[in-house]
Chains A and B, each alone.
Chain A
């Protein structure tokens, strides 16, 4: 390095120094004015790399916090719908108690039935609650009403048309919540038990027995057991008559060729041949037969077939094998199947079937309404007894609604906690970003002042040094 210094060198050095100071000042000035330390990736590439995920985190969290609000609103709408349903069931309970206690006239019960019918309509409306054009209780099939009330042959059934899929949205990092509820869990909650079979008042039991499981029928049903004719195992000379028949199942027969009589089921002997003769068994069942003569085999058994119908005779199942423990009977009115144990069937008749544990919200209301309407013309006491039995069903259906409400309520209240958490996270991410990105104003201003001072000092010193040359002293 030389020791020779020229004026040109001093000028250019002074210029470079002053410019460096000025450039630094300009950067500081921009940082202070914009409040941001990193305006371009090159300002701090390492920080830029850290900032990108933070920014996208913050955007995510902002949306999640919106989602939390949305979820809370949606869930609250669902909860308030279920609260309405709960209130509705309180009213139903009052009405049920009222109808089962007092001595009401049929007219009073009819007016209660009218109110229950109205409540049923309301409940369908509640179950088809919407928020913003979407049905809340239909799973993901949310653009059509999930519950549809269908009345076929005087029997009302409410069908679920939604699905059991859920729509989950992000409400916090790694946390999803389900916005919708599959409505069948709330409004069609069942816990099928056994079947209660009771003969219609004033009639004799048919001997049909219930089965456990396998059936899809709900609520109350009426089973009509009618005569289904004779099967091929009858004696050759015997055919079905067209009189009234109540005897079903295996019947023993005994011809007396000497007396020219036929006795069925150990009952009284009737002279043959006979057309449409009525035979009575020992246990007082009757069968109408046409007998032309005496067959080769004098004693034995034959089968009187039964027809089982749960839809008032629209469709029926014919039983010829009375050793079957499960006979499926389909109902054309609600497409349900009920299995009966055919082994005990001995006579025709009408049985009332109650599917214990199948009283979901809708079935409870339709059953109650139908009982109160009393289209069958039952005695007052009978109606009251049956209505009072419905109290358990009402409570059960109410409980299912409350369970749904609790579930939604829990989800909704957890949203409050989540909202705080998401907002905390958002704030902490924002802080991290700000630490990386924002200008530390205090230190920037301090540095600016320092820079200012050294800039002025550089100017002064430069001016002083450059002025000095031999010329100044020669004159």
Chain B
């Protein structure tokens, strides 16, 4: 037994108890410290002494270390989960903001749409009412404003991403710096082999907070320092940091840089990752669908409106809202093909009908213009329009199309019926006419060229015979000579002793004199082949009328496709008197649509239904089928199948192409009379409003096969579902977080009862060790006293 042996063991026991007390006290003190990890003093029996060669005796307690009770796996999961929670929080708050922008279910765009169609319906009750027309313009303005407001708030929301991310990046950089300095302290402290418990706690807490902001991966090195990676790039390496920076990419969306490397793409969680994802997909997706809605509303609304009739009647002058762009850079905008002129809407191949109205008489001159955007330039279109009598069309230096009607004339693009279709008098006119019994083209291959046709134009003063010679070069294909080619060739030589006209595809010759003294007869010239027979022209003599036979068309065309009805008498006789006097009605292809009885029993002036909503009324007089009397009526379902009016912005209701720039045409705002309520010029005609009203229920291809209102309510519903889903996602992420926190608490958390028990235990062991020391001292005293 060595002197003082017991003292040493007692001292270490005292120390151990004191460390234990202090650790318990520290635990209790930090019970509420965020991220604090419960610590415990690790004790072990000290190395024993050998006694008497065969025995060993314990040398007391050894204080091994003070360790943190931590499960690194849970710590890692908590760090990741904080990123998920942060992202879910951002998602929910963004979605809530979007939901707020879309407006509450009662107001907002859906109310504006309902109001617009409501104003339309109200105007239908009195299309002539100026105040109601103003109401429609106002409702259109309110809808436009709603669209624009939404677009601007959404783009504002998108714009805040950059600032928000920059703020968060500053926090990331601050925390990264703190972690780097903690790394330095921990490596220094642990170089001696000790464990820097509280520093590690602080660092772990910083990493977790960082995880809330951004998706980081942590790697601990052997020396105790922790490296952090963002998107595979080092943010913290030992005591050094690489600062994060924000910038904008080519598409003007926010990007995140670690040093010089772009880490935007690989970010998954965290607030920053969620913000970037929202900016890239969430908001733009919504914006594009709202733009889709606005664009298709503009397109479809304008399709009907551009071909309507303003309340003020046919237009006097009009300038297109959009101009062609000089895409080939030759300084001339007019020569751009319509398909490449940079117009806001696509033009397709088809036909455009233009009506020029004589304001005084109401007579309509309707012209069909075939449009192929791949071969037709804006200048070509202007030329075609300019060729229409009493209409001038020019392309101004800004590439806009300018249309002007001659004095006392007006123009429009409406599909209205020409109520007086026989303006040239080929059916009931006062001049004698002889018309072909069938529509062209005619086979002239059996004829000798030049063709020779004798036209005898008679009047009270005598008869003038004109021999018209037509060379084969007048035709593209003599087997298929068109009525137009024939008419052009004949008119060149016949004028002024008669006129060749084309009605319903048929060649019709008309004498130049009026009245029953006027006559017209035809004869084939010399040579083989009977030209009159080849052309289906009658050999009889036609006599003029003293009074025109009036033909009036009424009703509204309900057919789906553009049509032309040709009317030819079946026999000869007096309207309303001759038994079984009939009119044949043929369609565009020459098929018989119907025959109508205008003979005995028909009261002149009475309307008879023809087909597809069209009616016809004949005045008193005689008609002749054998002379080839004929008239034709255009029945149009769509007077612009090309959308060229929409694309150029002629007679538009809305201007603009997206939610950001939709607006009511300022010309309509200034003058509500420009609202095209009718198809015809009648003040009470609400035909175009009826067309617009059908838009409400029509499923549009451009809106993925839904109607305008449905598209919007689906969108709002979807956002509602998304918000609800984001709420659920956040709740479940938070629940998972709480679960992980509970697990962490159960390992690393401080239980005060436990610490109390520890304190009591260490107190008792301290008392026991002190007692042991006292006994050891007594024993030493006893030994010393033995020697006295």
Contact = CB atoms under 8 A, between A and B. Distances in A.
Q: Do A and B come from one complex?
A: yes
A163 interface: yes
A163 B546 CA distance: 27
B185 interface: no
A133 B129 CA distance: 9
B554 A8 contact: no
A222 interface: no
A41 B601 contact: no
Nearest to B34: A8
Given A51-B105, A165-B556, A40 B720 contact: yes
B554 A214 contact: no
Contacts, number: 220
A55 B720 contact: no
A63 B114 CA distance: 11
A63 B118 contact: yes
Interface in A68-106: 70
A94 B110 CA distance: 62
Interface in A148-175: 163-165, 167-170
A41 B99 contact: yes
Contacts of A167: 124, 127, 684-686
B749 A474 contact: no
A142 B122 contact: no
Nearest to B113: A56
B757 A9 contact: no
A330 interface: yes
A52 B603 CA distance: 53
B620 A192 contact: no
Interface in B81-116: 95-96, 99-100, 102, 104-106, 110, 113-114
Interface stretch (B518-526, B572-580, B652-660): B572-580
Interface string B112-138: 011001100110111111000000000
Contacts of A168: 690
Nearest to A144: B683
A165 B750 contact: no
B714 interface: yes
B738 A42 contact: no
Interface residues of A, number: 72
User: Of residues B575, B713, B752, which shows the largest number of chain A Cβ atoms within 10 Å of its Cβ?
Assistant: B713
A213 B602 contact: yes
A49 interface: yes
Interface stretch (B468-476, B483-491, B583-591, B721-729): B721-729
A39 interface: yes
A337 B750 contact: no
A41 B723 CA distance: 8
Contacts of B574: 214, 326, 328, 339
Interface in B720-756: 720-724, 727, 738, 741-743, 745-747, 749-753, 756
Contact of A42 (B118, B620, B724): B724
Interface residues of B, number: 81
A66 B125 CA distance: 10
Contacts of B718: 45
Contacts of A297: none
B709 interface: yes
B32 interface: yes
A202 interface: no
Nearest to A437: B105
User: Of residues A1, A41, A165, A179, which shows the largest number of chain B Cβ atoms within 10 Å of its Cβ?
Assistant: A41
B779 interface: no
Interface string A13-57: 100100000000000000000000011111111101101110110
Given A12-B741, A52-B713, A179-B125, A2 B747 contact: yes
A470 B682 contact: no
Contacts of B4: none
Given A40-B104, A212-B600, A170 B121 contact: yes
A8 B750 contact: yes
B713 A49 contact: yes
Contact of A134 (B128, B547, B719, B742): B128
Contacts of A330: 546-547
A44 B724 CA distance: 8
B610 interface: no
Contacts of A163: 554, 682
B621 interface: yes
Given A39-B104, A59-B114, A4 B751 contact: yes
Interface in B607-637: 607, 615, 619-622
B704 to A, nearest CB: 16
A49 B31 contact: no
A141 interface: yes
Given A132-B126, A214-B576, A6 B745 contact: yes
B716 interface: yes
A390 B713 CA distance: 67
A139 B682 contact: yes
Given A180-B684, A337-B620, A164 B104 contact: no
Contacts of A138: 684
Contact of A216 (B32, B604, B741): B604
B48 interface: no
A9 B742 CA distance: 6
Interface in A298-316: none
Given A213-B603, A216-B604, A470 B126 contact: no
A52 B105 contact: yes
A108 B129 CA distance: 48
B717 interface: yes
A7 B746 contact: no
A60 B601 CA distance: 46
A442 B603 CA distance: 72
B685 A41 contact: no
A5 B717 contact: no
B247 interface: no
A292 B685 CA distance: 71
A190 B603 CA distance: 9
A275 interface: no
Contacts of B32: 8
Contacts of B747: 2, 4
Given A40-B723, A41-B719, A49-B714, A6 B749 contact: yes
Nearest to B36: A8
Contacts of B559: none
B604 A214 contact: yes
User: Of residues A56, A66, A437, which shows the largest number of chain B Cβ atoms within 10 Å of its Cβ?
Assistant: A56
Given A42-B724, A192-B603, A52 B716 contact: yes
B756 A470 contact: yes
Nearest to B750: A6
Given A9-B745, A48-B717, A169-B125, A213 B99 contact: no
Contacts of A170: 121, 124
Contacts of A326: 574, 577
A232 interface: no
B746 A2 contact: yes
Given A38-B105, A59-B118, A139-B682, 16 more contacts: A7-B31, A13-B742, A45-B717, A49-B717, A53-B710, A56-B709, A140-B684, A143-B128, A192-B603, A212-B577, A213-B600, A215-B576, A330-B546, A337-B547, A337-B619, A339-B574
23 contacts: A5-B751, A7-B31, A8-B31, A8-B749, A9-B749, A41-B99, A42-B95, A45-B717, A45-B718, A45-B721, A52-B712, A53-B709, A53-B710, A53-B713, A142-B684, A143-B683, A169-B125, A213-B602, A215-B576, A328-B621, A337-B619, A339-B574, A470-B752
Interface of A: 1-9, 12-13, 16, 38-46, 48-49, 51-53, 55-56, 59-60, 63, 66-67, 70, 132-134, 138-144, 163-165, 167-170, 179-180, 190, 192, 211-216, 326, 328, 330, 336-337, 339, 437, 469-471, 474
Interface of B: 31-32, 95-96, 99-100, 102, 104-106, 110, 113-114, 117-118, 121-122, 124-129, 546-547, 554-556, 574-577, 600-605, 607, 615, 619-622, 678, 680, 682-686, 690, 709-710, 712-714, 716-724, 727, 738, 741-743, 745-747, 749-753, 756-757
